[in-house]
Amino acid sequence: MSSPFLPSPSSSTLLVIDVQERLLPAIPSDEHGAIVKHVSNLVSLYGDFAGDVAFTEQYPRGLGPTVAPLATLLSALPPERPARRLEKVAFSACQADGFDLLGVRQDVVLVGMEAHVCVLLTGLDLLQRGHRVFLPFDAVASRRPAARDNGLALLRQAGATVINTETLVFATLHKAGGDTFKKFSALIR
């Protein structure tokens, strides 16, 4: 049975903000792999559990496309539930042309970069629109760790729930055992 306090992939949207080729190198190098890994794990979880996935790219002519490993996972989602891409120049995805066409669900798991700018402003707008917003702290990043922490703190104060990727994975799996458990248990290590 699902918890009413946590989102489930089958009833929420995973919204990936701006994990792009020219933006990732600005993130501290010891966090590059972690951010891509955690976001990728969530994309896989949403793919396996009938989730809804959308992703944004901030000014891709300047910041490049979504990083290759993540782009590959996004493009491999089932054709009946493809990841929806939104190109934007607005810092908040909610202010971008076409955002309302994405059909974002009531519960939103918000991940990506940068936590204190695009993730923060998108989260605040989602909260203002009445969405429940969940932020896996290990799947968001900023150029400076203090700026990331500040963005998360501001979103928490505004009503978002700060969680972690592993909690979402295990809450979705419900129990140990089976091939799906083995797959995700290996991914989160």
CA distance 37 to 126: 25
The pLDDT tens digits for 50-99 are 999 999 999 999 999 999 999 999 999 999 999 999 999 999 999 999 99
CA distance 69 to 19: 11
Per-residue pLDDT at 161:
97
Per-residue pLDDT at 185:
80
In degrees rounded to 5, what are phi and psi of residue 110? -110, 125
Give the global pTM.
Answer: 0.96
All domains in the chain, ordered by first residue: 9-188 (3.40.50.850)
Per-residue pLDDT at 2:
63
CA distance 171 to 87: 31
Low-confidence ranges of the chain (pLDDT < 50): none
Per-residue pLDDT at 119:
98
